[in-house]
């Protein structure tokens, strides 16, 4: 069977090798062995993105079809005729298109792709828009576009196999779609697990956040909680790892907040780390993973799986699918509630038995969500559905 794939992440071919962000590259390499050929329809990265094309695909049966520059959404939409022609030209070499969404090209693909499609939904285009660092007028336009896009996405999902990576998305769509399945996404392989019984055993305790560096992740709340706990006598430091939108002032806001809280020397942005060994090493040097997401647009952050696989106790907020998937393996706080977040962190820092319990439970959960297991589950589903069409 020949599979096509599209997502809004860019990729580039250099000297015969295909490079893309590691979190997508790991996914592609995990499913490629199940198919005869895998054709990736992806944009070319812009100058700022080229440094993040850090993962070379190892699979030899993957072909890259370029969709032009990874420019702004309006520019990509204005090229709908050219983009549609690219999909039409190459669809003969694919039996099925796996369309990871949300992605701006979905309406174009909906009108140009005539073969079977399987939707892999990893986000809700209409969630979290109020938290965007955009002027009011632009945010209003984005909301209008997101609502129109969501209607197009739902129409496509009603006619095709749809897979979601979170229980929240499943619950939202289960009454609307006939062919709906939950398959979690991950970046973990069987070799990525790091075993230890406990953390927080040194005088200085290292908190870590990994993911998109954005206000919606509750980073300012984390600083406030940390300041309260430092006053109580905990010797804490916070390390941030992830990608920052150049237009997002969050790092400046964090600097100002930390200064006002008198903890400016207790936090550090380490920069972007490639998914895999480079990122896992930062988890292994840490004591507690903390994420204070404020929106249901999260799904279930893959970084939680990575932290659990690194024997880290996890403190998170009760948004999206986190309470459903965490299953007691994480301390959960209310979103946008510094007091609740502080209490959850304090519980983990003070209670050795609870930490050890969380580490054990988290490790078992993460072991059930590896690339090897998810790739087999997803590929078998795609192949079985295609064989009956």
- CATH topology assigned to domain 205-367: Rossmann fold (3.40.50)
Cα 72 to chain center, whole Å? 20
DSSP of 242-286: S-B-TT--HHHHHHHHHHHTT-TTSEEEEE---TTHHHHHHHHT-
Helix (H, G, I), strand (E, B) or coil at 191: coil
Question: How far apart, in whole angstroms, are the C-alpha atoms of residue 231 and residue 315?
Answer: 20
For residue 167, the model assigns a pLDDT of 84
Distance in angstroms (rounded) separating the CA atoms of residues 111 and 210? 37
**Residues of CATH 3.40.50.2000 domain(s) within the chain?**
2-186+371-387, 205-367
**pLDDT for 15:** 94
- Across the chain, which has 389 residues, the per-10-residue mean pLDDT values are 97 96 96 98 93 94 96 90 95 96 95 95 80 75 90 96 91 94 93 97 97 93 98 98 87 97 98 90 98 80 94 95 88 97 98 97 95 97 83
Count of beta carbons in the 10 Å neighbourhood of residue 354: 14
| CA separation for the pair 316, 200 (Å, rounded) | 18
Amino acid 297: pLDDT: 66
Phi, psi of 319 (to 5 degrees): -125, 155
Note the pLDDT of residue 131: 66
User: Exposed (0-12), middle (13-18) or buried (19+): which is 202, by Cβ within 10 Å?
Assistant: exposed
For domain 2-186+371-387, the CATH class is alpha beta
The number of beta carbons lying within 10 Å of the beta carbon of residue 376 is 15
**pLDDT, position 296:** 72
What is the distance of C-alpha 324 from the center of its chain?
17
- Tokens of residue 186, six digits: 């991950």
Q: Which of left, alpha, beta for 288 (phi over 0: left; psi -120 to 50: alpha)?
A: beta
Query: Which residue spans within 117-274 are E strands per DSSP?
Result: 117-121, 161-164, 180-182, 205-210, 236-241, 267-271
- Write down the pLDDT at residue 133: 66
């Amino acid at each position: 069977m020949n599979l096509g794939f599209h997502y809004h992440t860019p990729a580039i071919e250099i000297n015969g090798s295909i490079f893309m962000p590691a979190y997508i590259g790991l996914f592609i390499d995990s499913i490629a062995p199940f198919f005869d050929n895998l054709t990736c329809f992806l944009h070319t990265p812009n100058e700022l993105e080229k440094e993040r094309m850090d993962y070379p695909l190892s699979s030899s049966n993957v072909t890259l079809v370029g969709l032009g520059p990874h420019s702004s959404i309006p520019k990509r939409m204005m090229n709908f005729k050219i983009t549609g022609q690219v999909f039409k030209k190459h669809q003969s070499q694919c039996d099925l298109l796996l369309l990871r969404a949300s992605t701006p090209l979905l309406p174009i693909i909906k009108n140009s792709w005539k073969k079977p499609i399987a939707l892999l939904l990893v986000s809700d285009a209409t969630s979290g828009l109020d938290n965007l660092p955009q002027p009011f007028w632009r945010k209003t336009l984005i909301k209008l576009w997101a609502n129109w896009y969501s209607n197009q996405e739902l129409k496509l999902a009603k006619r095709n196999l749809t897979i979601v990576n979170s229980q929240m998305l499943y619950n939202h769509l289960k009454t609307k779609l006939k062919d709906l399945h939950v398959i979690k996404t991950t970046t973990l392989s069987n070799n990525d697990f790091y075993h230890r019984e406990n953390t927080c055993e040194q005088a200085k305790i290292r908190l870590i956040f990994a993911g998109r560096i954005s206000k919606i992740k509750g980073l300012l709340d984390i600083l406030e909680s940390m300041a309260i706990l430092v006053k109580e006598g905990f010797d804490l430091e916070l390390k941030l790892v992830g990608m920052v939108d150049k237009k997002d002032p969050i790092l400046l806001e964090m600097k100002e907040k930390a200064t006002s809280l008198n903890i400016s020397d207790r936090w550090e942005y380490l920069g972007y780390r490639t998914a895999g060994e480079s990122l896992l090493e930062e988890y292994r040097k840490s004591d507690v993973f903390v994420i204070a997401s404020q929106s249901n647009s999260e799904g279930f952050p893959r970084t939680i799986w990575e932290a659990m696989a690194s024997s880290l106790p996890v403190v998170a907020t009760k948004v999206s699918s986190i309470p459903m998937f965490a299953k007691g393996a994480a301390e959960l706080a209310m979103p946008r509630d510094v007091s609740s977040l502080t209490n959850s962190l304090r519980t983990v820092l003070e209670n050795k038995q609870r930490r050890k319990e969380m580490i054990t439970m988290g490790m078992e959960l993460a072991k059930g969500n590896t690339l090897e297991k998810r790739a087999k589950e997803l590929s078998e589903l795609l192949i079985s559905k295609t064989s009956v069409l």
